[in-house]
Structure 1
């Protein structure tokens, strides 16, 4: 084998470094690094700089349970439903281009909250009009009264940032709705005042008008709060990230170490340099060995992650499902990564980094909801591995491994990625072998 000894001079067979080679050696990594960091800057800053401006199709449920109330003097009674007015006011106050306000029944709203289909819910209670009527009467007749309440429920299992967006939407829309209901209630109360004979109805006092102008109270509460040690809903994201990293780093490590053991690349440990003679083995069989190592490593790493999480008191209701899916995700990512490396060589390191990490993290929806990022992130989320793994892990950790909450999509998309990786690796390496593009010394010399 050819080696270079800096103390005794250059090997006569070694290639000389001329000016053109030096320029290419310097320029190539600078260009690659420039392009990669430009992509990193765009992806990682664009999705977090202004989530409110990027908000689109953000799903929130609107539940109107109000049954209405009969109001007015005995001879002028009429049926009113303030809940309908509030629902209509909310629909107008909430920007339709940003918020997907879904008018649902309470049962369907709870189902969508439990399956992660909505980020929150606005609930108008069944006695809403009745309580407003009591407030109207109580404003002019002595007695104890309570403000009617509208409940704004957040879904903390969808992430702390998503909950803050729901609260922000409620805070923006509520004053307008409160004012609208207050004006209608004031007219209702004024019309019920009995005028003296031959006179006009008495005017409402200033204090009464103030009380009626803002009759509603907004109550914010969490739907199915998260237990402790969940990082306010971030443990699912970071656990999914760990699975992706294990697959990506595992594929790079296995690819390099197996190639070194087979003599296709040298191994250096500090000043020690080892380069074994190349092993006469086909590309396809080499890839099969790497896949086998990846399958073994995936199960070991998934078990380690599970034990570490349990050791840190992270709540895991279904550890078996988390272990099985974790191993499945690591193996799928690792096998696909190995196939890409087998297909395009060292350039596969960059491709794997971009595919699984650079594009995957901001489009995962784990920190900032997809609906609060630029729309092209939503397009990426349809196929990016990180998003699929995150949905599955979040379902296992926070939604009782509910298939409708993302586990089904995560499983099938992970399976699809695994199949793509297997087919890609098998087809490309078999083709290279068929063409005689072996990795022996003759191939290296020709290169």
Structure 2
């Protein structure tokens, strides 16, 4: 066909809607993406809301040297009270519990960290005070801040920052008290004994604050990010896999053209109902879920990810990919091409910032915590984290993740069944009808 014999451009190209629609849709999508992603990570400390940390006071107390009558002092109680009074309880959920309960909650990931005052804290403190004027061996009293790296790298950093900030003020206040106590005892004892400059300096900051990782992560876990990225892989496998299968099946059944390079193929329509077409797509997704989940685990293991519960990880991964894929297909069956945008919002734009995989939900804006109640990415991340880092314990989020994933799968099945059956009964068959026909 010669250049002059080509038909004129369709009139649709001359309409403002043709040019504005793509620009507006993409602009809105990218704006939402930027606002949601950047808004959730920029200031975790500012967004803290009931961030769970344990305060464990095991101090047994000790007798104050030189006191008449003998006075028993528990410095641990004073420090615990000072920490409790010093934190913003709206931001920090400071749980004063025993050591056994704290360890159990750390092991299940329900605590991000713990501040532990040991049983000999007062004893070491009184020895330190005595050693300021009497020669002898001395060890500083210790308070340990336990982080929980398996619950997230950022959460561990937040615990360290919160703990050290709280103890700085406590340490200074306690130093002033000890310095005054020793000075008073020296004055009562008369001239001749003085506190050295080194002793005074030590008493100004008497507590040795240690930061220790509770149950550190092994190598090959990406500093705790492996669970988040594995969960992201599962969501993308379901979301992207559903899109690919939907396109290929529609092309092979003649409901959509297939283009490969310059080739344009339009197969004859197979004549399947919408419901039966969706069943075919669901079958593909179920088969692919088992294959892809096995491949993800095999590749991750080959790259160095330590997996101690391989079967549980494969089973849950298969469930996730199938649930996301089936639901995404049902959305596309219900809304057509617009369904792809709906899936993008559900499984990517809203899901990733509300997952809690990079920034804890307790350190994110409240919108993200609300979204996490029903957004699939958070549930999937918690399930993967429980299997990979918390020994597949049900109380570490695995049971909740499985229940929520099954609920999502059920919603997808019901949506697809109801909508496609309704379309079929109303005679909305998938055939091209020219305008005016």
Decide: shared fold, TM above 0.5.
Answer: yes
> Does the alignment pair 1:408 with 2:399?
yes
Counterpart Cα distance in 1 of 2:3 and 2:44: 58
Aligned to 2:348: 357
Aligned to 2:84: 91
* Higher mean C-alpha displacement, 289-298 vs 172-181: 172-181
* Higher mean C-alpha displacement, 184-193 vs 34-43: 184-193
Q: 1:108 to 1:7 in 2, by over 3 A?
A: farther
TM-score (normalizing by structure 2): 0.95
Aligned to 1:56: 49
Q: 1:20 to 1:441 in 2, by over 3 A?
A: closer
Q: 1:126 to 1:445 in 2, by over 3 A?
A: same
Q: 1:314 to 1:138 in 2, by over 3 A?
A: same
Distance apart, 1:97 and its partner CA = 2.6
Counterpart Cα distance in 1 of 2:6 and 2:295: 47
Distance apart, 1:19 and its partner CA = 5.4
> Does the alignment pair 1:305 with 2:296?
yes
Counterpart Cα distance in 1 of 2:335 and 2:72: 73
Counterpart Cα distance in 1 of 2:293 and 2:34: 31
Distance apart, 1:344 and its partner CA = 0.3
* Among 102, 106, 125, the residue aligned to 1:132: 125
Unaligned runs of 5+ in 1: none
> Does the alignment pair 1:257 with 2:248?
yes
> Does the alignment pair 1:118 with 2:104?
no
Provide, for residues 281-300 of structure 1, a one-character-per-residue CA deviation record: whole Å limited to 9, x for no partner: 11111111110110001111
1:122, 1:152 within 8 Å by CA — same for their partners in 2?
Answer: yes
1:195, 1:201 within 8 Å by CA — same for their partners in 2?
Answer: no
Distance apart, 1:95 and its partner CA = 2.5
TM-score (normalizing by structure 1): 0.93
1:280, 1:440 within 8 Å by CA — same for their partners in 2?
Answer: no
Aligned to 1:172: 165
Paired residues, number: 437
Distance apart, 1:265 and its partner CA = 0.4
Secondary structure (helix, strand or coil) at the match of 2:93 reads: strand
Summarize the alignment of residues 218-367 of structure 1 with structure 2, pairs less than 5 Å apart: 218-367=209-358
* Among 153, 156, 161, the residue aligned to 1:160: 153
> Does the alignment pair 1:421 with 2:412?
yes
Q: 1:177 to 1:355 in 2, by over 3 A?
A: same
RMSD of aligned alpha carbons: 2.0
* Higher mean C-alpha displacement, 53-62 vs 381-390: 53-62
Q: 1:80 to 1:391 in 2, by over 3 A?
A: same
Distance apart, 1:205 and its partner CA = 4.7
Aligned to 1:17: 10
Summarize the alignment of residues 9-88 of structure 1 with structure 2, pairs less than 5 Å apart: 17-18=10-11, 22-73=15-66, 75-88=68-81
Secondary structure (helix, strand or coil) at the match of 1:218 reads: strand
Provide, for residues 369-406 of structure 1, a one-character-per-residue CA deviation record: whole Å limited to 9, x for no partner: 11111111110111110000000000000000011111
Q: 1:446 to 1:412 in 2, by over 3 A?
A: farther
Counterpart Cα distance in 1 of 2:14 and 2:395: 56
Counterpart Cα distance in 2 of 1:413 and 1:30: 36
